[in-house]
Structure 1
Amino acid sequence: MSDVERELSWATTDDTQAFGRRLGALLRGGDVLVLTGDLGAGKTTLTQGIAEGLGVRGPITSPTFVIARVHPSVVGGPALVHVDAYRLGSALELDDLDLDADLDASVTIVEWGAGLAEQLSDERLEMTITGEDVRTAHLVGVGDRWDDVLDAVAPTS
């Protein structure tokens, strides 16, 4: 199993959402994305774009207080399970959400999931978003699944 890495920059929220739409169109049931970044980094903005690319029912808002939301597909594709792990103290608490029931059939995005969500899948896309005016995203595709996906949305120069 190989890891593939890419780095991208987005100047606007529109750029962030456009990348999300391209990525979302390539995702399938069983995919897990772990998003990391400071408050306001663009994790939910990115998820909104991914949701559009997947064709799921919105609106997509941060699930901070409900911890997880399921957005069913309106185009016959996988549902989106959107999780905010910010208030979770451990991987055990994440496990208590019983996400395993939805993992194979859904795309699962876990905001604030670093150090907690890796247990959900041996193959996942880890994204760390930094910056204030221009956002920089460091993407690590863990597992062979992500080679072609990252080549399609973030080709190397």
Structure 2
Amino acid sequence: MNDTFPVAGRERLETAADTQQLGFRLGQALEAGDVVILDGPLGAGKTTFTQGLARGMQVKGRVTSPTFVIAREHRSLIDGPSLVHVDAYRLLGAGDEHAGEVDASGALDSLDLDTDLDDAVVVAEWGGGLVEQITDTYMLISFDRETAVAADPDSSARYVQWRVVHN
């Protein structure tokens, strides 16, 4: 990741457009080999964030939740890195009695992606347990909708907190 995006921070995002804009800013800073983990409950804004990130990276294709396909690859429009958008929850077999025994790099290899992961940016929703096995450094982004809704039940706001993690 280049130095145009802070390595740590926290923002309150009022709308989906605000969430996409933060993703856009990060997408502009990402480089081949970067790994981003998105953590938060269903409906917290992970895919919305990734849509903005994809625009910032200038990649092809509509970004939707990878839940039903496990992973989607979006090629660059500008000769930059591809975006590999992964549903790590399903990839690692969460809920399966053998989930803890899954080799993350083998699971990613089994997706038969056209891109070497070192030449791509990997964004994994529900990625805890995945990245620790495939990289020493990654950005962890946590989405919190509960704090804003507790203060105002009509709020659509979310808090997004991020930091670079070194294993």
TM-score bin, normalised by smaller chain: 0.7 to 0.9
Moved over 3 A (4+): none
Using the alignment, how far apart are the partners of 1:52 and 1:122 within structure 2? Answer: 26
- Of the structure 1 ranges 4-13 and 92-101, higher mean CA displacement relative to structure 2 is found in 92-101
**Percent identical across equivalent pairs?**
48
Structure 1 residues not aligned, in runs of 5+: 144-157
Counterparts of 1:53-64 in structure 2 under 5 Å?
Answer: 53-64=56-67
Using the alignment, how far apart are the partners of 1:97 and 1:30 within structure 2? Answer: 14
Any conservation in 2 of the 1:5–1:139 contact (CA below 8 Å)? yes
Counterparts of 1:2-13 in structure 2 under 5 Å?
Answer: 5-13=8-16
Higher relative contact order, structure no. (Cα contacts within 8 Å, ≥ 6 residues apart): 1
Counterparts of 1:142-157 in structure 2 under 5 Å?
Answer: 142-143=165-166
Any conservation in 1 of the 2:44–2:143 contact (CA below 8 Å)? yes
Using the alignment, how far apart are the partners of 2:144 and 2:52 within structure 1? Answer: 18
Using the alignment, how far apart are the partners of 1:50 and 1:26 within structure 2? Answer: 10
Give TM-score, length-normalised by structure 2.
0.77
- Which residue of 94, 100, 104 maps to 2:104? 94
1:28 equivalent in alignment to 2:28: no
> Quick one: which amino acid aligns to residue 104 of structure 1?
D
Using the alignment, how far apart are the partners of 2:48 and 2:39 within structure 1? Answer: 13
Structure 2 residues not aligned, in runs of 5+: 1-6, 150-155
- Residue 109 of structure 1 corresponds to 123
Counterparts of 1:69-148 in structure 2 under 5 Å?
Answer: 69-87=72-90, 88-89=93-94, 90=99, 92=102, 94-95=104-105, 96-98=107-109, 102-131=116-145, 132=149, 133-143=156-166
- Of the structure 1 ranges 73-82 and 111-120, higher mean CA displacement relative to structure 2 is found in 111-120
Give TM-score, length-normalised by structure 1.
0.82
Any conservation in 2 of the 1:32–1:109 contact (CA below 8 Å)? yes
Root-mean-square deviation (CA, aligned residues, Å) is 1.9
